[in-house]
Structure 1
Amino acid sequence: MKTIQRIKNVILLLAIITLTISCNSDDNGGTIIDPEPTTISKYVVGFQAFPVGQASPAEYILDLPSLESLTTGEISVEGQGIPLRGWRFFHSAGNTVFTAGYSDDDKCIAYQLDENGALTEKANFAFQSTLDNYAALDDDTLLAVELTYGGLSDKRFHFINAKTGLLEKIVEHPIDIDMGSGTVEDPGSIPWVTGMILRDNKLFVSYHKWLADGSYITPDVDRAYVAIFQYPEMELEKIIEDDRTSPIGVNGHSTGIEKTENGDIYSFSTSALSAGFTAASKPSGILRINNGATEFDTNYFFNVEEATNGGKLFWMDYVGNGKAIARIIVDDNIGAWGVFKEQGEFFKLVVIDLINKEIKDVSGIPIHANRYTSPMFVEDGKVYLSARTGPAIGNNGENADLGETHVYIVDTETATATKGAKVLGLALKGVFKISN
């Protein structure tokens, strides 16, 4: 009898639970559970359009619906995209794309996807002098430092909140200033930052030296420099040097130094007159700072000029698995700043094995131009970048109509490239993926 009673009790309990669930799910009186919000992701590009007449190139920020938009068809801002003012830099941190004006505009604008997936301006702030070098320290912080051409001023590091898009603080520091004698013959020199990497609460900052008279002359081309700061205090710990190659990085890039998965830091030096140097006495090469160390590795130096398939580096960016992708200057004898043009036969693309010191030419992409190279975009092991082919543009715009820009998708394991979407403009100055 006790067993029968237990069975009845269990049946009664199940009936009560069933009735309760039925009542709670009733459309008229039950609790409505909101569905989980859907995350929307989009690909965002910085778009450099064709100039009109003698005007400067027009810049846009444009969102694309899928990765396929980079691989097939055409990318255009006709009837779409957000127009921007003047020539600009494009960088990202977390799910925010930042674009800062150069010379013509003193605003840094943050763009995010709203709840409906539309690309919208989140915030903006003004700066005193051009923000020239950038680093995403993490998903929450973008660090940018001002460019100064002359005068013995401190460097101004801008800490930007990637979630709000707003400037949080500015930290000023002199880094490495040679006061000189204050004369025309000896104006002193100032640092110009070319790359920033955060590792183990230390900020590694590579830089060139420029004469403080605004002449763009590099007074010391015989060594590489990196300043090391304690972070977040931003206290200068020390400056390290290496005389096996020249100063690190190139104007307009943010990738003078790169960090690998195991914490090693690699830097590249160009030593190229056509890339803005006023003299070149040391070979173009790659240095390493081992994980946990704060000095250059004396047992590692990759002389890129002497390597098979090598030459003078213009740009290098880390891909993963010990490999970097790079542009090597085809001819360094085309004059000062010669490769800083929107179109011309300036670069070949290569894959560099940093560990084994090997270089492979990338097949499938012709000799090309790409004046300023924002951080490239990598997804599923493939690299997406913009390149323009065609003869150099003359002083009066000759040959401009003979150029053509495409996205190229590079497989670094096979050192091959596939031509993707045609860009109806001069370049994509950055490719980013963000989510709301």
Structure 2
Amino acid sequence: MKTTFNLLMSGALLSIALLSGCSKNDNEPDTGGITDPNNLTKSKYVFVYSGNASGTTGTYIITADDVTKGTVSSANNGVETDAYSFIVQNNKVFAQAYTDQGPVTPFGLNTDGKMGSSGRVVTTFRTGVYGTMNTNAWVGGGDPRSSGVGELFRFDAENLLVANRSTTDLKAITQTGANAVWTGLFQVDNKIYMPYYKFFPPAAGAPFSQGKYGSLDSTWVAVFSYPELKYEKTISDDRTGYVGNWFSMQGLKQIENGDVYTWSTAPEINGIKSTKPSGIVRIKKGTEVFDKSYFFNMEEVAKAKIARGAYIANGKFLMALYAGVTTGDISGGRVKMAIVDVNTKTVNYVTGVPEHAQPLFKLNTYYEGDGKTIDYVFKDDAGQFYVYLINAETATAIKGLHLEGATDVTSISKLKY
């Protein structure tokens, strides 16, 4: 009996040793120890913060327990990252570097609420647009401004791997010699809607600045299948300008009733000026065509052009409207914040938020899920970043958390732990 026991123990120990010596196959899912977010009860606000409050300038993913008051900085808070894009999905922040390899690093909160790496690094490619799909994936698109080929990949946010890829001839989308340059990537039902503008790339070897924009007088949205990532059709309208701006990930939203709204600045770029008014157009649920019976002319109603927008709830958007004649594309101009209701076609300026310089690319917001509250973080004229809690029902705001030492804040979200 003793001999039999010793043999069994030796075999068990050998099995443990062999298992310990094995490394994970590169194709095997690595979830980073993901815990089902539905079983978690605590949460923290998460910011992507650039600055030097810790004594060393860098970009950090930092946390805060409360956004209604107090001060937070990178000093002894969060983790440093060299990424440029940040996608929040499946209770993680996916940090993606804007490089040829586009490596993606997942970050999350541990059981003590501390921010840290949460799974393996995954190689993708230089990503210019991205958007979440359902609760378990996100899709990234390559920078198509010069290549003429649009690349897409689907990132499995549960198993932390690239699930599939596709390529698309961008000139086939425009049916001209111009490339379709994507300005965002959005889920609509179970498809992907990608607004774009037309861009004629420079001749081989010439500077990128010699490229030319196509007409600014139309709205174009390319429709792709999901999860196959294949181009299907283009939806277009000529009552306002193109949607979004480069790297903005804003300009289109499907709301609760299934209708889709897009909004356009109707911009002036490199001396080319749109002749159309800034406004909002609609795609009715399930139609995949612009609704000709609906047009919200922002220049008639508010006497201003739209700069940026973010959805709140119940047909209400938080929008930045240009405060003067000076407008911008990626940046430029000054803005006032307003609650824009696409159901009633009304605009109510928000009291409590000062006029300020237009944020770069998009509005950095977090919707609280209560039907009315959206948190908006921006830099004021004193150069300080604060969170403002905006009530969509009353169009009022309260000044909250101070992000001390920040030179830029590019993301606000909330994770569970």
Q: Displacement of 1:93 after TM fit?
A: 1.2
Of residues 143, 165, 180, the one that matches 1:191 is 180
Larger Rg: 1
Q: Displacement of 1:303 after TM fit?
A: 1.0
Distance 1:58 1:243 in 2: 44
Question: For residue 301 of structure 1, what is the aligned residue in structure 2?
Answer: 295
Question: For residue 63 of structure 2, what is the aligned residue in structure 1?
Answer: 63
Within-5 A mapping of 1:398-413: 402-413=382-393
Of residues 377, 391, 415, the one that matches 1:386 is 377
Q: Does 1:250 align with 2:241?
A: no
Distance 1:144 1:51 in 2: 32
Question: For residue 50 of structure 2, what is the aligned residue in structure 1?
Answer: 48
Contact 1:110 1:124 in 2 (8 A): yes
| Number of aligned residue pairs | 366
Q: Structure 1-normalised TM-score?
A: 0.77
Secondary structure of 1:195's aligned partner: coil
Q: Structure 2-normalised TM-score?
A: 0.80
Q: Displacement of 1:219 after TM fit?
A: 1.0
Distance 1:103 1:60 in 2: 18
For structure 2, the residue ranges without an aligned partner over 5 or more in a row are 1-38, 203-207
Distance 1:327 1:80 in 2: 31
Within-5 A mapping of 1:282-293: 282-293=276-287
Q: Does 1:260 align with 2:255?
A: yes
Q: Look up the equivalent residue of 1:243 and give its one-letter code.
A: D
Please list the CA deviations of residues 361-398 of structure 1 after superposition, one character each: whole Å capped at 9, or x if unmatched: 111011113223366211133111112122xxxxxxxx
Q: Does 1:430 align with 2:414?
A: no
1:211 to 1:72, Cα distance in 2 relative to 1, 3 A = same
Secondary structure of 1:373's aligned partner: coil
Of residues 345, 349, 360, the one that matches 2:337 is 349
More displaced 10-residue stretch of structure 1: 417-426 or 39-48: 39-48
Question: For residue 127 of structure 1, what is the aligned residue in structure 2?
Answer: 124
1:212 to 1:143, Cα distance in 2 relative to 1, 3 A = same
Question: For residue 76 of structure 1, what is the aligned residue in structure 2?
Answer: 73
Question: For residue 144 of structure 2, what is the aligned residue in structure 1?
Answer: 148
Q: Does 1:320 align with 2:320?
A: no
Q: Does 1:109 align with 2:105?
A: yes
RMSD: 2.6
Distance 2:361 2:71 in 1: 21
Question: For residue 201 of structure 2, what is the aligned residue in structure 1?
Answer: 212
Q: Does 1:415 align with 2:417?
A: no
Q: Look up the equivalent residue of 2:322 and give its one-letter code.
A: I
1:198 to 1:141, Cα distance in 2 relative to 1, 3 A = same
Q: Displacement of 1:434 after TM fit?
A: 1.7
Q: Displacement of 1:139 after TM fit?
A: 1.1
Distance 1:291 1:139 in 2: 21
Contact 2:86 2:96 in 1 (8 A): yes
Q: Look up the equivalent residue of 2:104 and give its one-letter code.
A: C
Secondary structure of 2:290's aligned partner: coil
Q: Displacement of 1:120 after TM fit?
A: 2.0
For structure 1, the residue ranges without an aligned partner over 5 or more in a row are 1-36, 181-187, 391-401
1:272 to 1:410, Cα distance in 2 relative to 1, 3 A = same
Question: For residue 350 of structure 2, what is the aligned residue in structure 1?
Answer: 362
